Structure 1
């Protein structure tokens, strides 16, 4: 049963011979009614505040739920981005490793080619040196031979008996036979001796 301040003020009591003083009772009822009215107003004010707090609480709950969803979305997005970044980094690393292997392979191949070229150049150098040495040796032998031939050509052998050109024109029966004379074939350049002797005469 709900009471109002007006109901408390208008409350009537039966009178008796030795009952309470009506004025005092009425004064007390007025006081109770006033307090009751104050308490009802306070209760309504508190109920209004409670409603506001409930509304705020619901708002905060919605905000919290939205934040939670946003956080979950951000977390999922971050995980996806992290996973994508890891995959991309793995791809970049694998590509870099492949490129590095290709570069090393090409460098090794180029190194082998350069080494082979150097070996060929060394062999060619040795071949050229051998050719030059052979040429120089042959040239020196030719010069030595030419020097010996020249010395023999311009040196007249010392003979006890010299056959002049006139005597050499005699018949074979008149030519003296000397066993110690050199043969033309034994003297280098003998084919030119006759012409030299003619010039001397």
Structure 2
């Protein structure tokens, strides 16, 4: 049976011949009622506080779960970003390698073209020297015929 402070304060007792002094009983019951009332109020306040704390705890648990999900998502995103960066780095490396190969191929082609041009110029030079030599020898022969060496000394 649950008692309130009012139940205690207004409790009625039968009167008997050798009973207690009613005023003392009333006074004592009043003090008990006050104390029980204070305890009931404190108990109610503590229940309310427990309820608040339980609600806060539940919110914190939900927050913790959300935080865990966020951490897992962040880790997943970090792995994906890292993988993407590695793929992009590999692609850039391959493009650089291909560009290097293209530059080397073009340089080799240019070297070969320059070597061909050099050889062509060398042949032209040799041909020019040969023709010039032939021309000079032709002039010398003509000079010999016109003025032989023995008459040229002098």
Query: How far apart, CA to CA, are the structure 1 residues paired with 2:144 and 2:12?
Result: 167
Aligned residues: 148
Q: CA RMSD in A?
A: 2.3
TM-score where L is the length of structure 1: 0.64
Query: How far apart, CA to CA, are the structure 2 residues paired with 1:12 and 1:112?
Result: 129
Q: Which has the larger radius of gyration?
A: 1
Mapping 1:38-77, distance limit 5 Å: 38-77=38-77
User: CA-to-partner distance for each residue in 1:137-196, whole Å, 9 max, x for gaps?
Assistant: 221121221224xx8xxxxxxxxxxxxxxxxxxxxxxxxxxxxxxxxxxxxxxxxxxxxx
Higher relative CO (Cα under 8 Å, sequence separation at least 6) belongs to 2
Deviation at 1:60, TM superposition (A): 2.3
TM-score where L is the length of structure 2: 0.82
Which structure carries more helix by proportion?
2
What residue in structure 1 maps to residue 115 of structure 2?
A: 115
Structure 2 unaligned segments of length 5 or more: list them. none
Query: How far apart, CA to CA, are the structure 1 residues paired with 2:22 and 2:145?
Result: 176
User: CA-to-partner distance for each residue in 1:79-111, whole Å, 9 max, x for gaps?
Assistant: 112211211221121121112112112211211
State yes or no: 1:143 paired with 2:143: yes
Deviation at 1:136, TM superposition (A): 0.6
